[in-house]
Structure 1
Amino acid sequence: MSVRKRAANRLSTKIALLTIPILLTTACAGGGTGPSGAAGPTKIGFAQGNFGNGWYEVNAKGATDEAKQLGHDLEVVSGGGDPVTQNAQLSNFITKGVAGLIINPTDPQALSSNLSRLKDEKIPFVLVNAGVTPDLLADSYCYVTEDEKVNAGLVGAETARVMKAKHGATKPVKILLVLGFPGDTNSANREAGFKAGYASVAGAPPAQYLENVYGKWAADTAVAPVSSVATGNPDLDAMFVGTDSMLPGVQQALTSVNMWGKVSIASYDGQMKVVKQMKDDPNSPVIATVANLPAQQGMIAAQMLDKALKGEDKNTACPGNKFFVKPTLITHDNAASYYKSDADY
């Protein structure tokens, strides 16, 4: 969810920061047991999809902290948003002989050969955040994520309520969706969820959806496409931004055409800086975001991998191969009670 070049520039720094506590675990942890039965922490890996927008880092830290508590030595790497890079990293983990893996796929279908290889070599893996097709999902021990359609539906319904209060039930409203990449799973789920949520509100004004724009999950790359659509649609009423990470770019784009503050904006991810803006400014055009708890997702993924390594039946530990974290809708009404100054999400 960041520009590949930026991710590459930050990659070495991010990995260094994440591996410092991991090296300390190797030196300090006691009582762990490796896959061969030797004393010491079990070596496991986390193939994170990317770094650079904050969400991935918080997600990885949640997994790292929990893995340490469970007595494992977790190595975290970033695929930089590139499935070729991530495939190479998965192959390297397999060659190293890790006991298990957590994977946030860059492109699930592009990883299918390595996921099959993990199955063949009996290396358990847990998926986090980005999903896969049912056949690949069945090979995992568990898939830990939020229900994107449900989450996006919450902000879709809130948008409908705001539009109804502003415009009544009959006048059509123009809505723009700002998503990640055309055809990616996260974008598709969030679009479907938002639209279903909007449609669920009785008496909401008819939605006139403009053609989606794609900001590649990053602020910088959201500026140009949003500016272009906003310029051609000065009567734009509302927007759904698929991640809070793109909001600074959306704000820059709308400000440049004198539309910031005139368009109601619903977003997704629950970044604390967005919650703070909503808390501090009752007139903020950001009307809602939904928290999908990246740290908790990482923590639960580490717990599930620990269960897999202990041989616990996955149908008991993770029924249906899926574990959904509970969503939280944040609006102007509850932003103050949700806000935590010491958290990123």
Structure 2
Amino acid sequence: MNVGKFITAAGFMALLAGSATAATIGYSSPNFDDNFQTILREAAKSYAEGKGDKLLVEDAREDVGTQLSQVQNFIASGVDAIVVAPVSTESTPAITKLAKQAGIPLVYVNRRPADLNTFDGKVTYVGSDNYQAGKLEGEAACKAAGGKGDAVILIGFLRNEDAQNRTKAVKDVLATDGCKNIKVLAEQEGEWQRTKAQDIVANWLSAGMKPSIVLANNDEMALGAVQAMKSAGISMKDVVIAGIDATPDAIKSIEAGDMDITVFQNAKSQATNSIDAALKIIGGEKVDKYIDVPFVPVTKENLNKFK
């Protein structure tokens, strides 16, 4: 008996067995240029590859049709599961239908799908309660402003349920007794983007508006507001700037004394939970329709925990 040949054959069979258990997962990101989505996407890719699986990543470029085509291509290529951070939460029923018809596990991540209540054990959503994020942001901003001032609100995409929930929560906080002396001067869609928000705030300032509070649906827009105000010669000590996500840039901005508040959205936990959920469904397990990753408010007082 040739032991060498036997070991080589055994090793080869083990290799085959290992590759058979590796999963291929399609991942559609709404926008590669979005800072938070980049953190989320890279964390998912790193985690999947660390487990020996393969993540095929595509950029939908904030286009619903492009994302739908990507899902169709994933299905046609025979992936084992699909993870989608939706461009528009209203477009998710069409994506869910495609995945169900193909019998492919589907995980939505970060942006709450409109058809969440219809999900079964093979379709799930991994994310955070965006109403809670807006509530935490509004409460912290109100406290920092002493319960009074003139505010502006920067909204992500009006079509996006996450943006809607964050905005509604902020407004609900401002309607409470302790915050009702904060007046909303204006609100506008900033598309989650720093440059867009900077232009909006610059235009407001040029028109003579003097907001003392900026409530942004995410950190990128809050950072855009900081840039616009600094360019206009406004001291950051005179305004309260609040965002959501606790991105590295936002943490640095709070440390520098520019931004005042953010709300930690755990991108890594959302990413790892989405991959784990996909792998569980592939393995025949049923998962909950919603897997929650809690938000945490971040200010100068607890900043060191998030560096």
Q: Taking structure 1 as the reference length, what is the TM-score of the superposition?
A: 0.78
Write out aligned runs for 1:221-236 (5 A).
221-236=196-211
SS at match of 1:142: strand
2:165 equivalent in structure 1:
189
- 1:111 offset after TM fit, Å? 4.6
1:278-303: CA deviations, max 9, x gaps?
23x3xx24221011011221111000
Rounded Cα–Cα distance in structure 1 between residues aligned with 2:82 and 2:189: 31
For structure 2, the residue ranges without an aligned partner over 5 or more in a row are 1-14
- In structure 2, the CA distance between the partners of 1:75 and 1:256, relative to structure 1 (3 Å rule), is same
2:245 aligned to 259, 269, 276, which one? 269
Q: How does 1:221-260 map to 2 (within 5 A)?
A: 221-260=196-235
Aligned structure 1 segments of 4 or more residues deviating by more than 6 angstroms: none
Which of residues 276, 281, 287 in structure 1 aligns to 2:260?
Answer: 287
Q: Is the 8 A contact 2:222 2:242 kept in 1?
A: no
User: Structure 1 stretches of 5 or more lacking a match?
Assistant: 1-28, 34-38, 340-345
Of 66-75 and 86-95, more deviation after overlay is shown by 66-75
Question: Which amino acid in the other structure matches residue 178 of structure 1?
Answer: L
| Count of aligned positions | 292
Contact kept in structure 2, 1:66 and 1:303, CA below 8 Å: no
Post-superposition offset of 1:63: 1.5
Match of 2:10? none
Aligned mates of 1:156, 1:253 — CA distance in 2: 21
Aligned counterpart in structure 2 of residue 327 of structure 1, from 292, 295, 299: 295
Amino acid at match of 1:145: G
CA gap of 1:135–1:159, structure 2 versus 1, over 3 A, is: closer
Give the SS at the match of 2:145.
Answer: helix
Q: Report the alpha carbon displacement of residue 97 of structure 1 after superposing the two structures with TM.
A: 1.1
Backbone CA RMSD of aligned residues: 2.3
Aligned to 1:309: 282
**What's the CA shift string for 1:184-206, capped at 9, x where partnerless?**
21211110122234445x53352
Report the alpha carbon displacement of residue 327 of structure 1 after superposing the two structures with TM: 1.4
Percentage identity across paired residues of the two chains: 22
Q: CA deviation at 1:147?
A: 0.9
What residue is the counterpart of 1:65 in the other structure? 46
- Does residue 84 of structure 1 match 2:65? yes
1:40-55 alignment to 2 at 5 Å? 41-55=22-36
Which residue does 2:182 correspond to in 1?
Answer: 207
Q: Structure 1's 135 and 216: CA in aligned 2 closer, same or farther, altered over 3 A?
A: closer
TM-score normalised to structure 2 length: 0.87
CA contact (8 A) 1:176 1:209 kept: yes
1:136 and 1:255, CA in 2 relative to 1: closer, same or farther beyond 3 A?
same
Aligned CA distance change for structure 1 residues 71 and 32 (closer, same or farther; 3 Å): farther
